[in-house]
Structure 1
Amino acid sequence: MAMPGGAAGDEDDLTVTINTTPLVDVMLVLLIIFLIAIPVAIRNVPVALPEERTAPTQTRPENITLSVDRQGDVFWGEARVETLDALIARLRGEALREPQPDILIRGDREARFEMIGRVLAACRQAGLANVGFITEPPGGGK
């Protein structure tokens, strides 16, 4: 049976191919878009952190307790530290002791995280390795 518009022997000459170039182009563009968009989406995901249950820490005389109150003031034990530079200087002196003391940071729940982060950065800058946080157990300790 002959096809309209062609001769009887033309059926063998007909080759049908799919042009995959546009498909590959689209897939590469989508890949690039996803590689750029996924890290941005991951960083912006809101997370509800769990309440922490930890074993009580044993207070030792060599431990240093740093507190940050609501206003962002930093206290070394009970004494207020005037500047972060003064805090770093005192922490560097403590970093020279063998063994290094544990640094325990107490942050008020109403304090800005920025100031607590600065205290933590000061500990790292001074070269102290054992830094921890003091928290209340869930339910206010009941």
Structure 2
Amino acid sequence: MAMAVGPASGDEDEVMSAINTTPLVDVMLVLLIIFLITIPVVTTSIPVTLPKERVEIRETKPENVIISVNPQGDIYWYDAKVPNEAFLVERLKRVSTMKPQPEVQIRGDLASKYGGVGKVLLACQRAGITKVAFITEPPPLGG
């Protein structure tokens, strides 16, 4: 490594105008290594569009179909219990032919298992329902 000692003329009052770039190069190399390590972690191989969470006020319209699932997994069409999934699919097929197609709103109990809600979603898919929404309660204020 060389050291600049100034001109050979012996005049000590001259200002040296060279900038030492060695620390800058060291910092840039460290940043380059950090970026090379973190970029593969951030990127994924499968491109997906993730859902965005938003608070939306929904209006309940009379033509909307409300299906509830209680903690035991029983399915209710408004207030009437649905005897089986085939019956639910047939009722939803009648709804799917309406113009415009009403929205199916699913009210799943917090303590219910995923199976009951999954059965309703599968029935909606089989019947050709295009508008499905989940009814939830807003979180308490301040929490």
- Using the size of structure 2 for normalisation, the TM-score is 0.60
| Residue 80 (str. 1) matches residue 81 (str. 2) | yes
- Using the size of structure 1 for normalisation, the TM-score is 0.60
Tell me what 2:129 maps to.
Answer: 128
Count of residues in correspondence between the two structures: 92
Shift of 1:115: 1.2
Tell me what 1:104 maps to.
Answer: 105
Greater share of helix: 1
SS of equivalent residue, structure 2 residue 76: strand
SS of equivalent residue, structure 1 residue 65: strand
SS of equivalent residue, structure 1 residue 136: coil
SS of equivalent residue, structure 2 residue 105: strand
Give the whole-Å Cα distance in 2 for the aligned partners of 1:85 and 1:139. 38
Give the whole-Å Cα distance in 1 for the aligned partners of 2:57 and 2:138. 10
Structure 2 gap segments, 5+ residues each: 1-43, 46-52
What amino acid maps onto 1:88 in structure 2? V
Give the whole-Å Cα distance in 2 for the aligned partners of 1:114 and 1:78. 20
Deviant stretches of 4+, over 2 Å: none
Give the whole-Å Cα distance in 2 for the aligned partners of 1:77 and 1:124. 19
Shift of 1:76: 0.6
Shift of 1:53: 5.5
SS of equivalent residue, structure 2 residue 93: helix
Do the aligned partners of 1:87 and 1:122 also contact (CA within 8 Å) in 2?
yes
Give the whole-Å Cα distance in 1 for the aligned partners of 2:137 and 2:85. 26
Tell me what 2:90 maps to.
Answer: 89
Shift of 1:67: 0.3
Do the aligned partners of 1:53 and 1:138 also contact (CA within 8 Å) in 2?
no
